[in-house]
Structure formats: C-alpha cells, structure tokens
Amino acid sequence: MDLRFTPEERAFREEVRGFFKENLPEDIRRKMVDGHHPSKQDIVTWQRILNRKGWAVPNWPVEWGGTGWDPVRQYIFLDELQSFPAPSPLQFGVYMVGPVIAQFGSQEQKQRFLPRIANLDDWWCQGFSEPGAGSDLASLKTKAVREGDHYVVNGQKTWTTLAQHADWIFCLVRTDSSVKKQEGITFLLIDMKTPGITVRPIQTLDGGHEVNEVFFDDVKVPVENRVGQENKGWDYAKFLLGNERTNIARVGVSKQRIRRLKELAAIERVGDVPLIETPRFAEKLAALEIELKALEMTQLRVVAAERTREKGKPDPASSILKIKGSEIQQATTELLLDVVGPYALPYLPEDEAADHGSNEPPIGPDWAGPAAPTYFNWRKISIYGGSNEIQKNIIAKAILGL
Amino acid sequence: MDFDLSEEQSLLKDSVERLLADRYDFEARKRHGRGPHGYAREMWQAYAEQGLLAVPFAEEDGGIGGGPVETMIVMEAFGGALVLEPYLATVVLAGGLIRHAASAEQRAAWLPGLIGGETTYAFAHTERQARYDLADVGVSARRDGEGWILEGEKSLVLHGDSADRLIVSARTAGSRRDANGLGLFVVEANAPGVSRRGYPTQDGQRAAEVSLSSVRVGPDDVLGSPEGALPAIERVVDEAIAALCAEAVGAMDRMHRLTVEYLKTRKQFGTPIGTFQVLQHRAADMFIALEQARSMAFLATMMAGEEDARERTRAISGAKVQIGRSGRIVGQGAVQLHGGVGVTMEYSVGHYFKRVTMIDALFGDADHHLARVARLGGLIAA
C-alpha cells in the first residue's frame, strides 16, 4: 500500500500541466477562472488543440485515437484539466456517444463519426430524457417505426444540453411497445438538419440558455444510423451511463473552485478583517476542504480498483462519487454566495452581455457577477446523470443488497 | 499509487482477524471485560504470542519493523471486535514515545517486557484544565540532584489503573501552556507518591485519575530532552489519532453490516423493513459516511509518518474531523434503524456506537480539529 503517486505519474502530471500552460489560450483560461461559461468556439478551439496533441479522446480505444493511459493517468489528466482550469471536452461526444460507437457501432459508423467527434467537427447532443421519462428513463415514448430502409421518428426529448449548437443527436427511441420496457428500445444517431426536428430553448434559473426541448415530427432516419441491434439500445445506454459515472465526481473542478474562493475571500473584507480570517467562514471552508479531500481519496480508491475491473462494468461505489461530488460542487457555489454577500443581487445575464459586447461597468466587484447564477444553475448537478436519490437506490440495491 | 496490502500485511490481517473471530465475539468480550483490569490478560498474552505487540518497533529492538499500515490493520480489526485490551495505551502511545524519544539503552531496558506482554504502560498526560491543548501541562518536575521530583494531578489516563508503568509528562520550565519546558518521565505505577483512582469509561474500557505527590524519578528514566518533549508528544498523538481512525472505521464497518443485516431480517407490515426506501436511503447515507471515513483513515495512515509536522498535522486533523462526523452519522443511524434493541446494553450495536462516540472525544473532537485545519490554511493546496 502506497498512496503516493509514482515518480513517473508525477512527471506525467507535470507534462500535462506544462502542455496546458503552453497551449490553452489565456482568454479562455481567464473566463474559466472567473466562473463564466466557455463559448462554443472556446470549446472547439481547445478540443482541436488537444486533438493535435493526441489527447482529444484519451479514454477511447487506441486505434480510434485513445492514448492507452492506465486509469491513474486518465484520472491525473482530468484532474489537471479541471483544476487548471481548462474547458472540459464536450461530454456528449467524447465520453458518451464516442465510446458507444467505438464499442457497438459498425465499422462504417466508426470511420464516419469517431474522427469528427475527436476534432469536434460534429457537435453532439443527447436525446435520452423525455417529459415523462426522467429517473424512469426506460419508460420513454419517442417512437421509431421502420419503413423500408429508414425509421420514422415521432416524439419529444427534453433537457437536451446545448442542442442549439448540435449537428447530431443520439437518441433512445421505442421500437417495440409489446415487450418489457427495457427490451423495446433502440439507439439511433440522428442528423439535426433532418426535416421535422424543432429545437426550443428552456431558460434555466440563472437566465442562461443551456438546455432545450427537441421535437421530432415524422423525422426520417436511415437504418444505417442505428447503433448495434434493434431493441438492444438499453444495453448501450447502460454502458454509456456507466462511463459517465466514472468521471462524475469532478474533484478537479471543486479544487479549482476552492482555490478561487480562497483568493476572493482574502480580498473581501468584513470590517478590517479579510473574510477568510473570520472563524465562521474559515471553518465552513475547512469543512468543505476535508470533504473534498475524502472524496479525492475515495475517487483514487475507485481508480485503483479500476485496473482490475472488467471494462464497461462501473464500480457501484461510483454512486458515492456522484452524490458527494455533486454536494461538494454545490457547496462551493454556496460559499461563493457568502463571499460576494450583497453583490449577489444584481442580475446581468451573461449571454446578453457577451452577445452585445456590453461595456457597461460591473456593479460591485467584477468577480461577483457569476456567483448567484452559478449557485442557481448548479442545483442541476444533483439532478442530472441519475439524481442523488436514484444513486442512493443504486447503493441500497447493488452494494447493500436491500 | 495502490491501496493493496503486501503479502506480509495480508497475513497480519488474516491472523489478527482469525484470532478475534475465534476468541472475541460479543459474548466473549463481555467475559473479557469482567476481568480484574477490565480486560483479558490471556488475550494480551495471545497478542504477544502473535507478535501484535511488536508491530511498530524496529527489528533491532525486537519488533517486526511495521509502520502505520500495520498499525492500521491491527486497529481496524480491533475496532471490529471492540477490543478492550490496552493496545492504544501501551503499544501506540507509550510505545510511540519510547520509539521516538528513548535512548538505545532505554529501549533495550523497556521494550522486551512491553513486546513480550509482561509490562503494560499508560501515558499520563491530560490534565483537568487542558481540554485538547497538548502543551497545557501543570504537573511539575523539579530537579533533585541527578533526578527529578514530580508533583501534580493527571486525568483521564487511558488504562492508567492497570498499567505497570506510567509515562508522565511534566513541566520542567516555563508557564502552563508554553510549548517549551516539557519533559517525559517513566514512573513505576506502584512507586511511592503515586496514587490512582480507576474507573470504567462509557465504552467499556478503563481510565484513571493519577495523583503524583513528591514522586522521585531517576536520571535514567527521563525520555529524551527534559525540556523539549512536545514535538515527540505531538507526533505520537498524531500516530494515535491515525490508529483511532482505523479503529473507528473497523467499528463503523461492523455497525453498518449489523444494520444492513437487521434491515434484511426484521419484518414489519409483513415485509422486511429493508424494502422501505426511506430506510434504504438512510443505510446508503451511512455507507457513504463510512467510505469517506475509510478514505480519510487511509490518508491519516499515509501521513502518520510524515516528517513535515505541518503537513502531517493538517492531514491527521482532517481525518479526525471526518471520523467524528461519520461516526455520528453511522452510529446514530445504526441505533435508529435497529429501533428499541439499539438502545439496549444487551445487544452489540449500541456498544459500537458508544466506542465511536468516545473516539471522537479522544485527542480532540471534530470541532477542535476543524478549527486546527482552518488555522493551518485548509487541506487543498493553494
């Protein structure tokens, strides 16, 4: 038992950090530090920088651009990426549909889609949730009927993140209503330019436009865009969600947020004393750091165990990572609210300011703007990816056997 | 980076778990606790025979040269069985002081008896006014020719009533809370001027109030510098906290298992109560608290031997906070989910709850260590 990283692993971390320092454009890094969303162009720019380095899709099979790093190096890479902070790759391509196509797709699908995902030539979004299918995802109703060499899709998806930018959507659709609900689902890849698709924005509490409703009205999808077999889509979805969960603690994100909190709490004063030196705040912060340290150790335990686990079979303990990871990320936003104090109040939607190149001076400290929007927006973290209550059901059933 | 035990460590784990499975079930523990010292001499001898008392000592001192990982293995198993014998007092605390502060001659004089199970020790350090401040020592040591004379009162001395020898911290210089001016003195428990009032503790163990009235100590019985003992004390207390974290994890793990088992077998409304989601979620919360505690016990173990006192202390304090908080979640949850039987002396789960609660109160509770982490600037590197 040796919980230190090996000299090789430490050298790898330095290499990754060095590359980020050299190659991440400063304006993008600044935006991330200040707690703003990177733009579509920022994410594309960064993904292509990573792709030229060969680090666009580290988790994929080597023949499709994966790096072949062991789980510890995969972890170090993401930890550095998140804590640097650099934009995370677009999840829907790199961590979701990419691995599914690489594992279950046809050779033709792999050649057609994978390189374009790695270079972010195609922007993907995820068509899983529906108005009537949230935690009970398998009850989804969007229907695909086979007609000759294509399917005709009708229905609605919702909470579709960044669909407004998307070129493609991967969808779970119902192809058989006569069997058990999990057994009649098919996994389709759908071109967003296909006639009959409508995207309608949903505004979130922060005022941002991040999620959408997507409507399908007699949308024709060629059969060649089906992944794997008809009615086996649920298996592929479980594989996808398992991959999603290993990356869900976002320890690096919380580390960076805590570093930033410390900087700001040292600037902000309560009378003559920096906020960070007031005992109540200092102890709240220390308590959060302890929780995060514990989570980091738990994450490392899961990563270390991954070396001997069958691929595609996530550790049920990763439910802990989702629950604690989301709670801690949310707690960082709560503490930032404490730091900005009354300057949480002004509401200056980020999208408008960015779109119109606003040069109005900020109200209050220039770093206060994102605090409240992020607090409101990040309530999503304990809801998406299997809500924390669903994660507790998983722990109770898969680990405790209840 | 790996969390795997070496082959020797796995053997140690197997052997201590086997010993406890054979001789330390809950009924046996009750019998052991009725012994004259509140524990079983024959178990102490069994630990000696299995080499458990030799774990942290160097091979040249007759030990097996184990480190914090080996101590963690033993303590986690002890936590699972709620072991009553004075392992923490004798091996971890007194043994730690001897390892870090004693001369080669002193080690040769004392360690064979300790490792062989013939001599038990206790660390007489805490005083009524000190709360968790390790530097707050009022017991005085004044020069007496070549030796010293000790005067004053020690409190909450773990297993102090049964120990053969006491290691007493005393002030040789400075005022009550000064970091400098502390010495460590080894005293025979039956020396003239030592009087002890033993009593049981909430968790079924024992402690004593120790009164020192003109107790003479010879020059050979001083551990290290008579004015500079605090760093050794802090180091050993950090090691003890790491050991207690492991013990607490062992106890929490067992409590959680007992609870899940109970949820599967206890029926109400015609069905096992573990089918109720509200109870499942509470059990899941307990599981998360347990695993977070286990993670921090690993961190404490890894950092217990760290030479940089600041880094060591931060990590150890962080772990103690987590253990304290997890202990409340797991302990209170275990009792609650057992219902009435959880609050009886007759059933084991409440005894685990009591031990874990008392571990929080030893060497600084969660609030104390949280304040310390805050003072040291947190746990996440800037």
Q: What three-state secondary structure class fits B296?
A: helix
**Contact A237/A186 with Cβ under 8 angstroms?**
no
A307 or A9, which is more confident?
Answer: A9
Instruction: Give dist(CA A85, CA A238) in Å, integer.
Output: 30
Q: Quick one: closest CA in A to B292, which residue?
A: A294
Whether ipTM tops 0.90, in short, is yes
User: Which pLDDT band holds residue A316 (cuts at 50, 70, 90)?
Assistant: confident
Whole-number pLDDT of residue A345: 95
Instruction: Give dist(CA A358, CA B163) in Å, integer.
Output: 76
Residue spans in chain B of domains classed CATH 2.40.110.10: 122-227
CA-based nearest distance A168→chain B, Å: 38
Mean pLDDT of A311-327: 83
Over residues A167-203, the pLDDT tens digits come to 999 999 999 999 999 999 999 999 999 999 999 999 9
pLDDT at B258 over 90: yes
> Which of A52, A90, A57, A62 has its CA nearest to residue A74?
A57
Tell me whether residue A286 is exposed, middle or buried, using C-beta atoms within 10 angstroms of its C-beta: 0 to 12, 13 to 18, 19 or more.
Answer: buried
pLDDT at A349 over 80: no
Q: What three-state secondary structure class fits B36?
A: coil
Q: Which of B295, B299, B380 sits opposite A255 (nearest CB)?
A: B380
Q: Quick one: closest CA in A to B275, which residue?
A: A402
Instruction: Give dist(CA A298, CA A325) in Å, integer.
Output: 11
User: Which pLDDT band holds residue B288 (cuts at 50, 70, 90)?
Assistant: very high
Give the long-range contacts of residues A338-342, CB within 8 A, separation 24 or more. A338/A275, A338/A281, A338/A284, A339/A261, A339/A264, A339/A265, A339/A268, A339/A275, A339/A371, A340/A264, A340/A268, A340/A364, A340/A365, A340/A367, A340/A368, A340/A371, A340/A372, A341/A268
User: Which chain A residues are Cβ-neighbours of B287 within 8 angstroms?
Assistant: 320, 395, 399-400
Q: How far is CA A336 from CA A373, B141, B359, in A?
A: 11, 51, 34
Whole-number pLDDT of residue A244: 67
Instruction: Give dist(CA A101, CA A61) in Å, integer.
Output: 11
B2–A304 CB contact, under 8 Å: yes
Q: How far is CA B10 from CA A13, B4, B73, B296, in A?
A: 31, 9, 9, 21
**Residue B357 is inside which H or E element, if any?**
helix B349-361
User: Which chain B residues are Cβ-neighbours of A2 within 8 angstroms?
Assistant: 1-2
Whole-number pLDDT of residue A246: 60
User: Which pLDDT band holds residue A4 (cuts at 50, 70, 90)?
Assistant: confident
Over residues A89-145, the pLDDT tens digits come to 999 999 999 999 999 999 999 999 999 999 999 999 999 999 999 999 999 999 999
Whether chain B has a CB inside 8 Å of the CB on A279: the answer is yes
Size of interface A-B (CB pairs under 8 A): 135
Q: Which chain B residues touch A if contact means CB-CB below 8 Å? A: 1-6, 9, 69, 260, 263-264, 274-275, 277, 279-281, 283-285, 287-288, 291-293, 295-296, 298-299, 302, 315, 318, 321-322, 370-371, 373-375, 378-380, 382
B280–A402 CB contact, under 8 Å: yes
R_g (Cα) of chain B, nearest Å: 21
Give the long-range contacts of residues B181-184, CB within 8 A, separation 24 or more. B181/B227, B182/B135, B182/B137, B182/B227, B182/B228, B182/B229, B182/B230, B182/B233, B183/B141, B183/B148, B183/B222, B183/B223, B183/B225, B183/B226, B183/B227, B183/B229, B184/B97, B184/B101, B184/B222, B184/B223, B184/B224, B184/B229, B184/B232, B184/B233
Q: Which of B69, B260, B299 sits opposite A1 (nearest CB)?
A: B69
Tell me the pTM: 0.95
Which residues, at least 6 apart from B176, have a Cβ–Cβ distance to it below 8 Å? B129, B136, B137, B138
> Which of A84, A82, A75, A83 has its CA nearest to residue A301?
A75
User: Which pLDDT band holds residue A308 (cuts at 50, 70, 90)?
Assistant: confident
Mean pLDDT of B268-272: 97
What is the DSSP annotation of B185-239? EEEETTSTTEEEEEEE-TTS-EEEEEEEEEEEE-GGGEES-TTB-HHHHHHHHHH
Residue spans in chain B of domains classed CATH 1.20.140.10: 231-375
CATH topology of domain B7-119: Butyryl-Coa Dehydrogenase, subunit A; domain 1 (1.10.540)
> Which of A323, A336, A309, A339 has its CA nearest to residue A250?
A323
Instruction: Give dist(CA A331, CA A333) in Å, integer.
Output: 5
Which residues, at least 6 apart from B104, have a Cβ–Cβ distance to it below 8 Å? none
> Which of A291, A256, A292, A247 has its CA nearest to residue A385?
A247
A400–B382 CB contact, under 8 Å: no
Q: Quick one: closest CA in B to A297, which residue?
A: B295
Residue spans in chain B of domains classed CATH 1.10.540.10: 7-119
pLDDT at A356 over 60: no
DSSP state, residue A62: G
Instruction: Give dist(CA B310, CA B312) in Å, integer.
Output: 5
Q: Quick one: closest CA in B to A75, which residue?
A: B1
Pairing of strands B165-171, B121-124: parallel
DSSP state, residue B169: E
Which residues on adjacent β-strands are paired with residue B154? B210
Q: What three-state secondary structure class fits A298?
A: helix
Whole-number pLDDT of residue A241: 84
Catalytic residues of A: 244
Whole-number pLDDT of residue A358: 59
Which residues, at least 6 apart from A291, have a Cβ–Cβ distance to it below 8 Å? A324, A327, A328, A331, B292, B322
Whole-number pLDDT of residue A236: 96
User: Which chain A residues are Cβ-neighbours of B285 within 8 angstroms?
Assistant: 392
Whether chain B has a CB inside 8 Å of the CB on A3: the answer is yes
pLDDT at A311 over 70: no
Best CATH choice for the domain B122-227 from the list 2.60.40.350, 2.40.110.10, 3.40.50.2300, 3.30.70.270: 2.40.110.10
A401: left (phi over 0), alpha (psi -120 to 50) or beta: left
Tell me whether residue A120 is exposed, middle or buried, using C-beta atoms within 10 angstroms of its C-beta: 0 to 12, 13 to 18, 19 or more.
Answer: buried
Whole-number pLDDT of residue B101: 97
Mean pLDDT of B105-127: 98
User: Which pLDDT band holds residue B382 (cuts at 50, 70, 90)?
Assistant: low
pLDDT at A355 over 60: no
CB atoms within 10 A of CB A215: 17
Interface of A with B in 291-350 (CB under 8 A): 291-295, 297-298, 300-301, 304-305, 317, 320, 323-324
Tokens 């996530």 -> residue: A314
pLDDT at A351 over 90: no
Mean pLDDT of B214-226: 97
- Structure-token pair, residue A263: 């900087």
Whole-number pLDDT of residue A304: 87
A392–B3 CB contact, under 8 Å: no
User: Which chain A residues are Cβ-neighbours of B378 within 8 angstroms?
Assistant: 258, 262, 285-286, 289
B374–A283 CB contact, under 8 Å: yes
CA-based nearest distance B254→chain A, Å: 13
Q: How far is CA B311 from CA A245, B305, B308, in A?
A: 32, 11, 6
- A40-44, A374-378, A383-387: lowest mean pLDDT where? A383-387
- φ/ψ of residue B144, rounded to 5: -145, 85
Mean pLDDT of B338-360: 97
Tell me whether residue B76 is exposed, middle or buried, using C-beta atoms within 10 angstroms of its C-beta: 0 to 12, 13 to 18, 19 or more.
Answer: buried
Vertex A184, ends A182 and A190: CA angle to 5°? Answer: 105
CA-based nearest distance A389→chain B, Å: 8
User: Which pLDDT band holds residue B137 (cuts at 50, 70, 90)?
Assistant: very high
**Proportion of chain B above pLDDT 70, given as a percent:** 100
CB atoms within 10 A of CB A54: 12
CA dihedral A286, A289, A294, A295 (to 10 degrees): 150
B378–A262 CB contact, under 8 Å: yes
The residue type of B229 is: A
CA-based nearest distance B237→chain A, Å: 20
Instruction: Give dist(CA B279, CA A113) in Å, integer.
Output: 46
B374–A282 CB contact, under 8 Å: yes
CATH topology of domain B231-375: Butyryl-CoA Dehydrogenase, subunit A; domain 3 (1.20.140)
E-strand ranges in chain B read: 121-124, 140-144, 147-158, 165-171, 182-188, 194-200, 206-217, 222-223, 267-268, 271-272
Q: What is the mean pLDDT of chain B?
A: 97
CA-based nearest distance B374→chain A, Å: 5
User: Which pLDDT band holds residue A366 (cuts at 50, 70, 90)?
Assistant: confident
Q: Which of B277, B283, B379 sits opposite A289 (nearest CB)?
A: B379
- φ/ψ of residue A208, rounded to 5: -85, 165
Whole-number pLDDT of residue B128: 97
B1–A6 CB contact, under 8 Å: yes
Which residues, at least 6 apart from A299, have a Cβ–Cβ distance to it below 8 Å? A75, A249, A251, A321
Q: What is the mean pLDDT of chain A?
A: 93
**Proportion of chain B above pLDDT 90, given as a percent:** 98
Over residues A14-62, the pLDDT tens digits come to 999 999 999 999 999 999 999 888 999 999 999 999 999 999 999 999 9
**Residue A286 is inside which H or E element, if any?**
helix A279-306
CA-based nearest distance A235→chain B, Å: 26
A290–B5 CB contact, under 8 Å: no
Q: How far is CA B253 from CA A214, B264, B291, B330, in A?
A: 47, 17, 9, 9
Q: What share of chain A is helix, strand, coil (3-state, %, to 5)?
A: 55, 15, 30
Instruction: Give dist(CA B283, CA B274) in Å, integer.
Output: 9
Whole-number pLDDT of residue B35: 86
